Structure 1
Amino acid sequence: TRATVKSGIYEQRLQALLPGARIFSRPCPLLVPLVEEGWLSRRETKMILRRYLHPLRREQIDTLVLGCTHYPLLKQLIGPRIGRRVNLIDSSVEVALHVREFLHHNPELRARLQGNRAASRFFVSDCTAPVRQLAAKIFGREILLEKVKIP
């Protein structure tokens, strides 16, 4: 989001890990609504991606962090538009790997979580057909979504 980019948190953390790296952050506010509408391969989505990725191609980046949970769904479109030599990092996969590592080093917490085999519940603020289709695409099956009202 614009707020995340403006905060500079990614730059700060990445500079701490990779001193001297050139880091470019770009908000992409139009991508989330396109994904949520299920427009994953529409011409409009491809045009907007080209517009967002062009400045990064000019900078000849070598790595692109997909910093939003929606962006991995566009990975098949992003890859060819950013270039084959650019490494795409799915932040959700990286978070999952860190959680796994954390749980590996905290066996008591892991045991408590494994003992709690409650059914998963999915809450959404908007339960439209595109949202249900997107959820089915993400999970590989139809799932029950529960609509909640946000005050």
Structure 2
Amino acid sequence: MTISYLQVRVVMVTMSNQRKCGPESSGVQKAHVCNRAPRGAMFRYARLCSVRGDQGKAIRSLLDRIADKWALLLIATLHDGPFRFTELEQRIPGISRRMLTLTLRNLERDGLVTRTTFAEVPPRVEYELTDLAQSLIPHAVALAEWAGEHVPVIEASRTAYDERF
């Protein structure tokens, strides 16, 4: 399932339309979250915000990681195959060693990248995408294509907005 920005925004709006209900006893709030009346597309994606019962925190956290400035570039670069650290550094213009290290660690932590160390002198380390990350590629490409197609419209909208304010 592809989740577009609009769908993510719908989830965020749905979450903001939730209200707490339930009794309070002895100063301890025992509330649960109730959805308001369903409205079109908002209700259609409401389940995304309560996937784990955490009101969407897990999804927001993951989207923050994937939508990071460097993460998608790194994932797209690793799509061509496994690379060593210095090769990645050369292929991704503008990324610092520190940001490359942090992004690789975070992606490895999330199970999107594997790090393989070879027992050689000097030591050799390669990074490659996991199957999970490979499944992300078509969705990332679709998002990039959408952005490329709509850049003129978005820039015109920004200009119009800036002129008003």
TM-score of the aligned structures, taking structure 1 as reference length? 0.27
Q: Which of structures 1 and 2 has the bigger CA Rg?
A: 2
More strand by share: 2
Q: Does 1 or 2 have the higher relative contact order (CA < 8 Å, sep 6+)?
A: 1
